Amino acid sequence: MIPSVPMRRYGARAAVLGALSTFLCGAGAWTMDESPRTVRMIGVHESPVGFVSLAEPVPATCVHGHLYFDLATPLGKALFATLTVAKTTGQKVRVGYTPPETTGNCWLQLAALV
């Protein structure tokens, strides 16, 4: 029998672990894998597209220096949850993304607390 754990006590940790496990199940390939990074700003650009701006620079080919993600997908929601925890707690985050060959959007594919 597995003992029950009150969610109130472990709510934030459980939410982050759930978000990460959801993300990792659908993980794809990316070319840039950078750690540790500081989340400077997160937001929504045009529904359902979210973005993150990091304190450390990303490649110049990434439009506005942002990494974008789709909030309409389970992956996008997991990325947003992970980035929100990183921003609010000051934790560093590992990010994975693929920059375009020419100027364009860089789509975030990994966000992991470190």
The answer to whether residues 96 and 32 touch, using CB atoms and an 8 Å cutoff, is yes
Query: pLDDT value at position 14?
Result: 42
Tell if the pTM clears 0.85, that is, is over it. Answer: no
| Measured distance CA(56)–CA(39) in Å, rounded | 9
pLDDT of the chain, 114 residues: tens digit per residue: 344 444 444 445 544 444 444 444 444 577 888 889 999 999 998 889 999 999 999 999 999 999 999 999 999 999 999 999 999 999 999 999 988 889 999 999 999 999
Residues near 94 by beta carbon (within 8 Å), at least 6 away in sequence: 33, 34, 35, 36, 37, 110, 111, 112, 113, 114
Instruction: List, in sequence order, every residue forming a beta bridge with 68; answer none if it has no partner.
Output: 51, 107
Query: pLDDT value at position 51?
Result: 97
Residues near 88 by beta carbon (within 8 Å), at least 6 away in sequence: none
Give the chain's count of helices (H) and strands (E): 2, 6
